[in-house]
Structure 1
Amino acid sequence: MRIPPFNPYIAVIIGVIAVSSSPIFVKLTNGVPSAIIANYRLLIAFLIMTPIILSKYRKEFRNINYRDWILAVISGIFLAAYFVLWFESLNDTTVTSSIIFITIHPVFVFLGTYFLSQERFSSGSTISLIIILFGSAIIGWGDYQESNAFIYGDLLAIVASISLAIYILSGQKTRKSLSLITYTYIVYGVGMITLLLYNIIMQNPFGNYSMKNWYIFLALAVIPTFLGHSLFNWAIKWLNNSTVSMAIVFEPIAATLLAYIILKETMIWSQLLGGTIVIFGLFLFILSTSRKNSVTISKKSNK
């Protein structure tokens, strides 16, 4: 057995913090159209990945069948929709509310899998879904008391969460036949082109932004993407899926702390209570829908 070159638990912690920085960066852009922010995030990430694809993975493109191309295109379109909807939600609601509603996307993935494969709900998953809905309702009610704009932002975040779930579901089979980096490269490319066309139609300006905003575009492409999601994907080689999934549940906590430190955003009672209930429900949901795998990390290398 192999030993990891780096402690996977530390990698997951770094990944959670990195991914949680995404809404903070979006808030700091100060008025840049959401579709432009999303477009540059995917464009820069796509360009960074291009030399690696050309040097090591270009042969994989010859073996991609028609069905996989179609599914990858669908994934890319919904990834673009997810970014635009989520970033737009941050203009109308708080980081805490938005990230909590994004974090419940595993519920929509599970529901989609249920309707596609007719899998039965376990009692644990049913109870956890009720808990998550109850916590979400508390957040929504509290936001409604604060401002109607908050509710609009919450709804955008929920639709973004559904878009993220469709992105994940549509790419499940394709990811099994392609390497992760090739699949990601194609999806990012499709998402980038989708957003490019959308921005042209909406006549959003592609330039005349401050240097601070260009640094934020770069940070969005590098930190949440490569220091966040890439570390999660690497950690899955050493830890089971449920462990990494549970770690991702801590994103709302990390994002809320970053929002408080950097943006001076404070929580209201409904976000604290509802968020706690949602996170608890997500823990139960992941436990009830994950297969139990015993994973050990050997201290000896077997080369």
Structure 2
Amino acid sequence: MINKSIEKRIYLILAAGILVISFAGVFVAMADAPAIIIAFYRMFFTIAVLTPVFIYRKDCRLELFFDRRPVIIGFFLAIHFILWVTAFEYTAVANAVIFIALQPLFTLLFERLWAKEDLRPGIYRGLFIAITGSIIVGAGDLNNLFASIRGDTLAIMAAFFAGLYLFSGRSLRKKLDYFPYIYTVYTYATAFLLIAVIFSGYSFTGYSQTNWLLFIGLALGPTVIGHSVLNLAVRYVPATLVSTTIIGEPVLTSLLAWILLGDKIPPLTIVGGTFIIYGLLYTMRRNKQNKKLANPK
């Protein structure tokens, strides 16, 4: 059991991580490169930044790459990125807001099947409130709902692999230190994305300066900081709780799009965003309460 001060810091770090991840949707919307190229360079530049740290740290050993578990987790992450970025090409933002809410449902399903000890009363209710808010946000453009079956399906599949990636990494995160874990997983994800680009036939070069800046921005912000924070938090709190906080990303992305791109914020986004934030705060509060009941002094 972690003490209160560390737990508070984990929640604050998690909130900051979600804020940084929220830039991903804006950066992807601004890029005009093929989806698989965006996904690859996002991870490639991430590894480029982290490699000097891997070489310097004494707890980073090449033996880590011979464990098949990081290979599997890296594969899940690569598939998630490919599906998520590609979905933006075929479906409306409103649809993506709705279907991203499925991610914690998938994580909850995995935990119910394989890690029942992680489930705590209160998470279900907070999850339901947050998902309701996400549906309200997406309801602002119901005419577009299921307008593109291909894009909607890709978004659902991206949510599935995101939940699988977070859940499958939790047991390994408890055994490995933070940095060796993320570097190994990110390296394998990059390798899988490299193979995907080669088979896709797209060129590795010839993209505008704006695209290269966006690739680097996706690596430094949403990945190096954002996704790494998720991997840090999942060691200390249930994967479902971490996944639930990600539902707040569409609200923050809408705000960032308004500030950076001039996109208007529909009234339903404000209403739904209130539900989402309340659901997240409720889930975290109940999680703390149940920890106290399970571990009385």
Q: TM-score, normalised by structure 2?
A: 0.77
| Cα contact 2:94–2:138 (8 A) shared by 1 | no
Q: Alpha-carbon deviations, 1:234-287, whole Å to 9, x = none?
A: 7899xx748x95865543222101112223333456655555545544444454
Distance 1:119 1:257, change over 3 A: same
Instruction: Tell me, in whole angstroms, the C-alpha distance in 2 between the residues paired with 1:13 and 1:58.
Output: 28
Q: Which residue of 2 aligns with 1:165?
A: 163
Q: Which residue of 2 aligns with 1:220?
A: 218
**Alignment match of 1:177 (pick from 175, 178, 181):** 175
Does residue 83 (structure 1) correspond to residue 85 (structure 2)? The answer is: no
Deviation at 1:65, TM superposition (A): 9.1
| Cα contact 2:84–2:154 (8 A) shared by 1 | yes
Q: Which residue of 2 aligns with 1:45?
A: 46
Q: Which residue of 2 aligns with 1:297?
A: none
Distance 1:272 1:198, change over 3 A: same
| Cα contact 1:82–1:161 (8 A) shared by 2 | yes
Aligned to 2:174, what secondary structure does the other structure show?
helix
Deviation at 1:190, TM superposition (A): 0.9
Does residue 15 (structure 1) correspond to residue 22 (structure 2)? The answer is: no
Aligned amino acid, residue 15 of structure 1: G
Aligned amino acid, residue 194 of structure 1: F
Q: Which residue of 2 aligns with 1:199?
A: 197
| Cα contact 1:101–1:161 (8 A) shared by 2 | yes
Distance 1:213 1:170, change over 3 A: same
| Cα contact 1:144–1:150 (8 A) shared by 2 | no
Distance 1:85 1:157, change over 3 A: same
Within 5 Å, which residues of 2 pair with 1:278-297? 278-288=276-286, 291-292=290-291
Aligned to 2:264, what secondary structure does the other structure show?
coil
Between stretches 137-146 and 106-115, larger displacement belongs to 137-146
Deviation at 1:47, TM superposition (A): 1.4
Q: Which runs of 5+ in 2 are unaligned?
A: none
Instruction: Tell me, in whole angstroms, the C-alpha distance in 1 between the residues paired with 2:189 and 2:77.
Output: 6
Does residue 24 (structure 1) correspond to residue 26 (structure 2)? The answer is: yes
Instruction: Tell me, in whole angstroms, the C-alpha distance in 1 between the residues paired with 2:72 and 2:118.
Output: 27
Deviation at 1:168, TM superposition (A): 1.2
| Cα contact 1:21–1:255 (8 A) shared by 2 | yes
| Cα contact 1:86–1:98 (8 A) shared by 2 | no
Does residue 33 (structure 1) correspond to residue 30 (structure 2)? The answer is: no
Q: TM-score, normalised by structure 1?
A: 0.75
Deviation at 1:208, TM superposition (A): 0.6
Q: Which residue of 2 aligns with 1:298?
A: none
Instruction: Tell me, in whole angstroms, the C-alpha distance in 2 between the residues paired with 1:261 and 1:221.
Output: 21
Q: Alpha-carbon deviations, 1:101-160, whole Å to 9, x = none?
A: 435533321220101245697664444455455555556665441365466544422321
Aligned amino acid, residue 75 of structure 1: I
Between stretches 40-49 and 280-289, larger displacement belongs to 280-289
Q: Alpha-carbon deviations, 1:73-106, whole Å to 9, x = none?
A: 1110110111111112222345465356435533
| Cα contact 1:78–1:164 (8 A) shared by 2 | yes
Within 5 Å, which residues of 2 pair with 1:124-273? 124-131=122-129, 134-135=132-133, 143-146=141-144, 148-149=146-147, 152-230=150-228, 241=237, 245=242, 249-268=247-266, 271=269, 273=271
Instruction: Tell me, in whole angstroms, the C-alpha distance in 2 between the residues paired with 1:163 and 1:122.
Output: 23
Deviation at 1:35, TM superposition (A): 1.1
Aligned amino acid, residue 291 of structure 2: K
Q: Which residue of 2 aligns with 1:301?
A: none
Q: Which residue of 2 aligns with 1:114?
A: 112
Q: How large is the Cα RMSD of the aligned pairs? A: 3.8
Instruction: Tell me, in whole angstroms, the C-alpha distance in 1 between the residues paired with 2:26 and 2:208.
Output: 17
Q: Which runs of 5+ in 1 are unaligned?
A: 295-303
